[in-house]
Structure formats: C-alpha cells, structure tokens
Amino acid sequence: MAVPEFQSMMLPMLKFLSDGQEHVAREVEDSLVAQMGLTDEDRNELLPSGRGLRLRNRIAWAKAHLKAAGLLESTRHGHFQISPLGLEALKQNPSEITLKYLDQFPGHLAFHSKPNQEALPNPAPKESEVRSPIETLETSYQELRLNLAMELLEKVKSCSPRFFENLVVDLLVAMGYGGSRKDAGQAVGQSGDGGIDGIIKEDKLGLDAVYIQAKRWENTVGRPVVQAFAGSLEGQRARKGVFITTSQFSSDAKAYVDRIEKRIVLIDGEHLAQLMIEHGVGVAEVATYTVKRMDLDYFGDE
C-alpha cells in the first residue's frame, strides 16, 4: 500500500506513546509500519527529490504538529513522550486526529501564526478555499521554516555550554558584528552559568562596543535578570547590550527595556532560531527552487 498522508499517522502515533515512556523516532516508525501494514518497499520509498524517505518525512510532520499542539513533548535530545494533555486527548477517544482537530489547542494555532509574521494559512485549507500555486509554495516554505526553527532550538538547548558560546559568536559575526571570527572570539569572555557574557565590536572598525549576555535557559527570563544586565552596562559605562536566551522573556522584562535610556535588544529562543536560518548558521541548503514568469519585455515588439 502507499505511504499514508501524515494526518492519518497522528492518532496511531499518539496511541503508541500512550504508555507514557520515552521513545525515539525509530520506535515510532517501527510501530506505525506494523499498525498500518506497510511493506519494506513502502518504508524505503523516496521523496520526489530523492533526498529523503517519504515515510520518515511524514512521521516528522505528524510529530511536529502533535508537539506544536502540546500533545507530546521532548524529554531530551532525540527522545520524546506523550504529554498530560495528550493523555487527556486520548481519553476522549477521538476517531481521528487531523489538523482541524489540533486547532482546538492554542499551541497549534500559534504554530501557524508566529510573531513577526503575518497570519499563516492552515496547510489543510477548507474545500471552499482555493489557493494559487504561488500561495501554496509560499505557505509550504513558511511551514518548512517554522519546523526547522523548532528543530534548531531543540538542538541548541541540548548543546554544551561551550558550543553555545561558539554558536552565539558565529551568529554575531554572520550578522556583521565583531570584525573577523578571530577578533570576535577573543572579545567574548566566558562565564560558568552555561551561557556567555562578554563584549563584541559593533562594527569591523570597533567604533563602538556591544555587551552580550546569553543564557541557555528553559525558564522565562524575568525583569530582575534583565535589570541586572542593565546595571552591569551602567557599571561599564556602556550604552548598548544584547541579551540572548533559548527560552523567552516575560512581558515585564520587555516593557522594562522599552522604558530605559540604554539600548538593550532582547533575543528569545524563537528569534534566535530564525536569525540562525536567515544568516546560515547551523543550517545547510537542501534545494533551491526558482520561480520564473514570462518576460513581457522580450515580446515587446510583437
């Protein structure tokens, strides 16, 4: 039989995870192959690009949507399990789990409408909605980018403190700060709290300095922590700072930096992942698709 579309995999996946134990992707794949009666040929079917297996691609999408809805959660790198919300959903004995079903959970709606983006259409539109090929292409691109950002952030959280220090430096250099990679690496000092604290040149000439604090945290960064960073800037007579975290900032922390005289930029985990994608840090290009249109100038004399 053909590999089922990813929505039909979500309920069987959640049922397999209902034991409440940690599992890895391979275990889920084996379970779905058995539950759906897939053959070795189905399991080894490639995507049209030839750059991956269709089954694993669809399992990854099913997992991404379930995780966005909060029905499963990552426990450590490469491991995940059903969440309390997922167990509650199974108690309702749904006949199927689809994207429409998942939209009842706020996290899944947010998955399609992230900050700094216009509202993103649902990838499974109603039959009455008709999209142009360009709209479909752009929506698919945004979905791929959002899923990549989630994967990047999960990976960054599992990295060592030293690797995180290097990642921040690489990103700042890619964004045009710090001069050379060597200069930037020397400019940033180390701390023992799992992040980095240091100084980096604002431009290649070093006309001004930017103070950096980076915290590889899971908990929300509140106003007291940001206020302490602002105080350290005052002690150094510094005017600019960047605070980077793998988690998020509280509303009080955001309001605080808007009110003070010093210029402090807050970069949360989601923004960090998007900057990594934008500046090519920790990501590799898989394929490039060029969309062309008819050149009316060419036919201008006709």
Task: Give the model's pLDDT for residue 129.
Answer: 39
Task: Give the model's pLDDT for residue 121.
Answer: 40
- Superfamily of chain region 161-278: RNA polymerase, Rpb5, N-terminal domain (3.40.1340.10)
Distances (CA, A) of 104 to 68, 86, 109: 12, 13, 8
Task: Give the model's pLDDT for residue 78.
Answer: 80
Q: Map out the domains of the chain as residue ranges.
A: 7-157, 161-278
Write the DSSP string, 47-70.
PTTSSSBHHHHHHHHHHHHHHHHT
Task: Give the model's pLDDT for residue 302.
Answer: 59
Task: Give the model's pLDDT for residue 124.
Answer: 45
Q: Give the model confidence (pLDDT) of 51-110 as tens digits.
A: 778 899 889 889 989 999 999 998 887 899 999 999 999 999 999 999 999 999 988 887
Q: For the whole model, what pTM was predicted?
A: 0.64
Task: Give the model's pLDDT for residue 187.
Answer: 54
Counting as low any pLDDT under 50, the low residues of the chain are 115-130, 191-195
Kindly state the tokens that stand for 234: 């005052």
| Nearest to 289, CA basis, from 152, 170, 134, 154 | 134
Task: Give the model's pLDDT for residue 131.
Answer: 54
For residue 35, count other CB atoms closer than 10 A to its CB: 14
